[in-house]
Amino acid sequence: MKTTLANARIVLEDEVILGAVTIEDGIIAAVDQGAGAPAGAEDMGGDWLCPGLIELHTDNLERHMQPRPGVKWPVAAAALAHDSELASVGVTTVFDALRVGSIVSEEKARYDKYARPLASEILALRAAGAFRISHFLHLRAEICSETLLEELAEFGPEDRIGIVSLMDHTPGQRQFRDTSKMAEYLTGKYGLSGEYLDAYFARLKALSDRVRERHEAGAVAEARRLGARLASHDDTTREDVAASEAHGCRLGEFPTTREAAEESHARGIAVIMGAPNYLRGGSHSGNVAAAELAEAGLLDILSSDYAPSSLLMGAVRMGRETGDLARGIATVTAAPAKAAGLEDRGRIAPGLRADLVRFAMAGDLPAVRAVWSRGARV
């Protein structure tokens, strides 16, 4: 089965050319330069054609599982809707982020265990061929928790765990250096406030002191056993980054300060920032702006975080602001593929998976017109 997509502005790794992409058996067979559409080819009408987007960190599935506060939507139905939403905005590979490490002894601010059964549902849907796009799992290992190591032990190398990230959301550090931001979040989510919050934060800090060392070392060892890449999360100081490097992290999620981003680059750690932060012009937790890091050349990868459609929008905006569309698109294609160790995708080149996105511009916004996942229109 052979398809040629012609008369397209093809976004290659470091340039854009006018030409045609030929797909054979789900693989890119050829990339040819030249205008016009030969007989039998699909005419892209001068639209852009870029590699399918690769999303390393999204909790978008949760939104589908709980579409209203208090409403639990069936997990399989939620996963299929999530998969369709991602396909519709050009994402063809996703690392679904699941938290491991729960807090089960708290009455009001419980963080229940859910990762293992949810992972099994996702893997079963994948095995049944129910998904439009390619799914991997990203286990977010919460250091400040009660159950991290027992939850990690429930996973094995066959579970497609591509990334394990080390997160520490202890109040008073990293993402929540400013505890008022964490208080705001918990007040919004659980209606907690005042004395309860003060006591709760004190309990979390004590828990963290008790388990941090064991949990960090354990999660690093588990990532190795699972064959996953290790990522840091919310690194704030140069010391945080040095510790992340010592753990073996090659990917740094959402450094909260410019100095942490600089130190990451100095140590060869790829920096991933939220596309919503980039597009909104700031971080909702009050941390460093993604745009500032982009301008300083310190941003390697964009993640849609909680808003899937922000991925292509962010990449195109970065292309416009740097005058280099290929560079913007690379932050959501070639760069995340490299960081996640995926050698079969992330660029438009012969021999790679035919994961492709056709888009046109509607004013400032990229409008997705078609998406192919391993050569199939999805």
Q: Which two tokens stand for residue 368?
A: 């997705």
Nearer to Fe ion, 223 or 371 (CB): 223
- 356 CB burial (10 A radius; 0-12, 13-18, 19+): buried
In Å, how far are 96, 277, 309, 337, 352 from 314, measured between CA atoms?
Answer: 20, 9, 9, 17, 24
In angstroms, give the least distance from the CB of 34 to Fe ion: 47
Measure the CA–CA gap between 362 and 11, rounded to whole angstroms. 18
In angstroms, give the least distance from the CB of 225 to Fe ion: 24
Measure the CA–CA gap between 112 and 115, rounded to whole angstroms. 9
Using CB atoms, what's the residue nearest to Fe ion? Answer: 175
355 binds Fe ion (CB under 5 A): no
Site for Fe ion in 46-105 (CB under 5 A): none
234 binds Fe ion (CB under 5 A): yes
Number of CB atoms found within 10 A of residue 38's CB: 12
Which listed range, 23-31, 38-46, 232-240, 365-373, lies at the site for Fe ion (CB under 5 A)? 232-240
Which listed range, 49-57, 68-76, 228-236, 276-284, lies at the site for Fe ion (CB under 5 A)? 228-236
175 binds Fe ion (CB under 5 A): yes
In angstroms, give the least distance from the CB of 252 to Fe ion: 12
Nearer to Fe ion, 22 or 257 (CB): 257
Measure the CA–CA gap between 64 and 79, rounded to whole angstroms. 7
- 343 CB burial (10 A radius; 0-12, 13-18, 19+): exposed
**What's the start-to-end Cα distance of the chain, in Å?**
16
Which listed range, 117-125, 147-155, 170-178, 296-304, lies at the site for Fe ion (CB under 5 A)? 170-178
Nearer to Fe ion, 48 or 95 (CB): 95
Alpha-helix residue ranges (DSSP H) falling in 13-131: 60-65, 75-88, 115-127
Nearer to Fe ion, 305 or 355 (CB): 305
Q: How many residues bind Fe ion (CB under 5 A)?
A: 2
Measure the CA–CA gap between 166 and 143, rounded to whole angstroms. 7
Measure the CA–CA gap between 245 and 251, rounded to whole angstroms. 9
Nearer to Fe ion, 48 or 254 (CB): 254
Nearer to Fe ion, 223 or 316 (CB): 223
159 binds Fe ion (CB under 5 A): no
In angstroms, give the least distance from the CB of 285 to Fe ion: 8
In angstroms, give the least distance from the CB of 290 to Fe ion: 14
Nearer to Fe ion, 234 or 263 (CB): 234
Contact residues: Fe ion, CB under 5 A: 175, 234
